[in-house]
């Protein structure tokens, strides 16, 4: 059974509704605390006696790319100026991908993006 548009719904009661959402967290946010906060906001005082449940599929924290070591940043900058006659710009991508964070942690090697 599909949802009825609000503008033409009138007094329609559905036997049940289900929805899902994905929340992207900042890299330094505690995923467990964020999950608990979302749960509390959704299940606290549902309107009209509705029964609300919250079943998270997963909750993982992001990965925050560490700052470059000064020697590495200096080397990259010098190489960029020598080769390109311009300073460098580093973009730390995949910050919200926990798998990438695990791989970098396991390798202990500096990663440039």
Has residue 35 been placed in a domain? yes
Question: How many domains would you assign to the chain?
Answer: 2
Establish if 44 belongs to a structural domain. Answer: yes
The pLDDT > 70 percentage for the chain reads: 70
Assigned domain for 101 exists:
yes
Instruction: Tell me the pLDDT tens digit for each residue of 14-40.
Output: 778 888 888 878 878 888 999 999 999
The answer to whether residues 52 and 81 belong to one domain is: no
Is 112 domain-assigned?
A: no
What average pLDDT does the chain have? Answer: 77
Same domain, 58 and 78: no
1 vs 21, 36, 54, CA distance in Å?
Answer: 20, 31, 21
Cα angle vertex 43, ends 40, 45, to 5°?
105
Give the model confidence (pLDDT) of 64-104 as tens digits.
777 888 998 899 889 988 988 877 776 555 445 566 556 65
Identify the domain containing residue 92 by its residue range: 70-107
Regarding whether 100 and 74 lie in a shared domain, the answer is yes
């Amino acid at each position: 059974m599909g949802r009825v548009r609000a503008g033409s719904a009138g007094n329609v009661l559905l036997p049940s509704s289900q929805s899902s959402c994905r929340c992207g967290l900042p890299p330094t946010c505690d995923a467990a605390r964020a999950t608990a906060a979302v749960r509390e906001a959704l299940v606290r005082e549902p309107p009209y006696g509705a029964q609300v449940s919250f079943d998270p599929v997963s909750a993982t924290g992001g990965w925050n790319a560490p700052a470059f070591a000064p020697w590495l940043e200096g080397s990259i900058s010098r190489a960029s100026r020598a080769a390109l006659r311009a300073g460098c710009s580093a973009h730390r991508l995949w910050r919200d991908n926990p798998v990438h964070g695990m791989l970098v942690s396991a390798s202990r090697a500096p990663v440039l993006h």
